[in-house]
């Protein structure tokens, strides 16, 4: 099956909005064996859209369209699709009920303009939008499938994952494709690849591995294909178990899990509490922890000790330690962790102090140098990291490294001699 992707909107063509939809859609289609032949961005112009659809239909079996489905006059996709398919708009009750439910949830009245979102072309199959008011639309004509979806990424992605891909799989169910994402933290992509090279080399032909690195984390996506779903699932679980045995200390979760979710779950299970003292991360570590529902059960709070005065006055860090070793040092970060654990009376405490950048580094302590400490009732563990020169990435990497130190301690996993820079 050959597919084309069409994104609609003047904002894409003047550089006001970056088209991330196409990249994500192409990836999802590729994963299920559908090849994307062309990606096009069209203006909010009737003739341009009609021509684009006609040309795409001459090349592809599947055309995915995003954008232009809002209720305002500049959103013309729905009306243009009516013209292309020689039909008219009709009122769709189930879509209107979805609009009403969303507006009730947000505490807003439904206006006549909002009601128009429930109008769809008569010859389409409306697709439910669980995150917005604009429904998707599925058309079939002359052997070609057209799917029109909202341009808002989080609305479109949910619709594709929950509605469009299952419909395509049901219609063209010749090969099963199953994915499993293994989440790792603690080492970089190249070190990880070297560590699991022998396992990767023996993977069966119908099982592929992809490395998906991001700041602080490397995701490993296993994709298995085959005509026997039971066999494909069994094969995937077998290789996943082998990998788990090979790098148990590096794997922190699977699929959509986050490190902060995993750590929170462990703290809750063990009925332990946590506090944080942050310098270079400036509250980002606290943000990750509190982004998890129910985190108040185990997380007590944070001291954002950005200045040396706060480190001394609130956390009990000694003037001598700062003067002799510097704020970014093992001695200081240890005292920060111990200080906040005692102040907030918690079982554990994490502390961060580093040079986030882009300025402030030296030959002895270059940008990216970060010390992280974990205080427990029995000990304090401190570790030095060298993250790099990008401020935003350094802040995220430091926060994730801190969470992973706590995860390892909660699981009583012994520290290994892996590189401390990631």
- Lowest-pLDDT choice from 317-321, 343-347, 388-392: 388-392
| Per-residue pLDDT at 174 | 58
- Lowest-pLDDT choice from 7-11, 12-16, 130-134, 276-280: 130-134
Convert the pLDDT of each residue in 37-56 to its tens digit.
999 999 999 999 999 999 99
406 and 286, same domain (yes or no): yes
- More reliable by pLDDT, 290 or 107: 290
420 lies in some domain = no
Radius of gyration of the chain from Cα atoms? Answer: 26
Convert the pLDDT of each residue in 325-347 to its tens digit.
999 999 999 999 999 999 999 99
Mean confidence (pLDDT) of the chain? 92
Question: Cα separations (Å) of 343 from 27, 63, 162, 229, 334?
Answer: 48, 60, 47, 55, 14
| Per-residue pLDDT at 173 | 62
- Residues with Cβ < 8 Å from 143, sequence gap 6 or more? 61
- Lowest-pLDDT choice from 97-101, 198-202, 213-217, 414-418: 414-418
Give dist(CA 54, CA 44) in Å, integer.
16
19 and 143, same domain (yes or no): yes
- End of a domain among 137, 171, 205? 171
| Per-residue pLDDT at 348 | 98
DSSP per position, 193-233:
HHHTHHHHHT--TTEEEEEEEETTEEEEEEEEEES-HHHHH
Give dist(CA 274, CA 351) in Å, integer.
11
Helical (H) or strand (E) element with 274:
strand 274-278
For residue 72, pLDDT over 80 is answered with no
Give dist(CA 10, CA 17) in Å, integer.
9
For residue 199, pLDDT over 60 is answered with yes
| Per-residue pLDDT at 172 | 74
- More reliable by pLDDT, 30 or 82: 82
180 and 167, same domain (yes or no): no
148 and 68, same domain (yes or no): yes
160 and 14, same domain (yes or no): yes
Helices of type H across 7-138: 10-13, 21-31, 46-57, 77-84, 93-106, 112-115
| Per-residue pLDDT at 421 | 47
Confidence of residue 282 (pLDDT cuts 50, 70, 90): very high
Q: For residue 293, which of 323, 325, 260, 269 has the smallest C-alpha distance?
A: 260
Q: For residue 305, which of 342, 332, 273, 271 has the smallest C-alpha distance?
A: 332
Helices of type H across 59-175: 77-84, 93-106, 112-115, 153-159, 165-171
Label residues 382-398 b or e (16+ Cβ within 10 Å = b): bbbbbbbebbebbbbbb
| Per-residue pLDDT at 229 | 81
Q: What is the DSSP letter of 67?
A: S
For residue 175, pLDDT over 70 is answered with no
419 lies in some domain = no
- 244: CATH: 3.30.70.2860
287 and 353, same domain (yes or no): yes
- 326: CATH: 3.90.950.20
Sign of the CA dihedral with 382 first, then 386, 387, and 392 last = positive
The SS3 call for residue 8 is strand
Question: Cα separations (Å) of 241 from 49, 225, 246, 252?
Answer: 49, 18, 9, 14
For residue 362, pLDDT over 60 is answered with yes
- Residue 278, token pair as written in the block: 């942050």
- End of a domain among 146, 171, 196? 171
- More reliable by pLDDT, 202 or 226: 202
Q: Look up the domain containing 94 and give its range.
A: 2-171
Confidence of residue 30 (pLDDT cuts 50, 70, 90): confident
- 76: CATH: 3.40.980.10
273 and 374, same domain (yes or no): yes
Convert the pLDDT of each residue in 93-117 to its tens digit.
998 998 888 888 878 888 888 888 8
Q: How many domains does the chain have?
A: 3
Give dist(CA 325, CA 312) in Å, integer.
14
Mean pLDDT of the 137-151 span: 96
The SS3 call for residue 91 is strand
| Per-residue pLDDT at 280 | 97
158 and 195, same domain (yes or no): no
């Amino acid at each position: 099956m050959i597919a084309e992707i069409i994104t609609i909107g003047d904002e894409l063509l003047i550089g006001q909005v970056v088209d991330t939809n196409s990249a994500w859609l192409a990836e999802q289609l590729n994963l299920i064996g559908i090849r994307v032949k062309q990606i096009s961005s069209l203006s909010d112009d009737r003739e341009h859209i009609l021509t684009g659809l006609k040309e795409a239909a001459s090349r592809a079996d599947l055309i995915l369209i995003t954008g232009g489905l809002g209720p305002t006059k500049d959103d013309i996709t729905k009306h243009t699709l009516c013209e292309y398919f020689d039909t008219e708009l009709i009122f769709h009750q189930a879509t209107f009920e979805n609009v009403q439910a969303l507006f009730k949830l947000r505490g807003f009245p439904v206006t006549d303009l909002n009601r128009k979102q429930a109008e769809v072309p008569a010859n389409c199959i409306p697709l439910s939008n669980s995150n917005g008011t604009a429904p998707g639309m599925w058309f079939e004509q002359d052997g070609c499938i057209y799917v029109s979806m909202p341009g808002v990424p989080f609305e479109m992605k949910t619709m594709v994952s929950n509605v469009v891909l299952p419909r395509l799989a049901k219609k063209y169910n010749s090969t099963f494709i199953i994915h499993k994402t293994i989440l790792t933290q603690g080492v970089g992509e190249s070190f990880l690849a070297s560590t699991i090279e022998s396992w990767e080399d023996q993977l069966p032909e119908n099982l592929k591995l992809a490395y998906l690195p991001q700041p602080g984390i490397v995701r490993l996506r296993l994709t298995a294909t085959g005509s026997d779903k039971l066999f494909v699932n069994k094969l995937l679980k077998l290789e996943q178990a082998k990998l788990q045995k090979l790098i148990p200390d590096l794997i922190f979760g699977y699929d959509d899990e986050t490190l902060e979710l995993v750590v929170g779950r462990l703290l809750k299970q063990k009925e332990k509490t946590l506090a944080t003292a942050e310098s270079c991360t400036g509250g980002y570590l606290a943000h990750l922890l509190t982004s998890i529902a129910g985190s108040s059960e185990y997380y007590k709070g944070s001291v954002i000790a950005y200045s040396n005065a706060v480190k001394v006055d609130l956390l009990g860090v000694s003037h001598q330690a700062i003067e002799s070793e510097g704020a970014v040092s093992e001695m200081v970060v240890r005292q920060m962790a111990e200080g906040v654990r005692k102040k907030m009376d918690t079982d554990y405490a994490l502390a961060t102090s580093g040079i986030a950048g882009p300025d402030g580094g030296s030959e002895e302590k270059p940008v990216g140098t970060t010390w992280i400490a974990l205080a427990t009732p029995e000990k304090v563990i401190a570790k030095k990291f060298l993250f790099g020169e990008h401020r935003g990435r350094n802040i995220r990497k430091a926060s994730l490294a801190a969470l992973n130190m706590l995860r390892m301690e909660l699981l009583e996993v012994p520290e290994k001699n892996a590189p401390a820079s990631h």
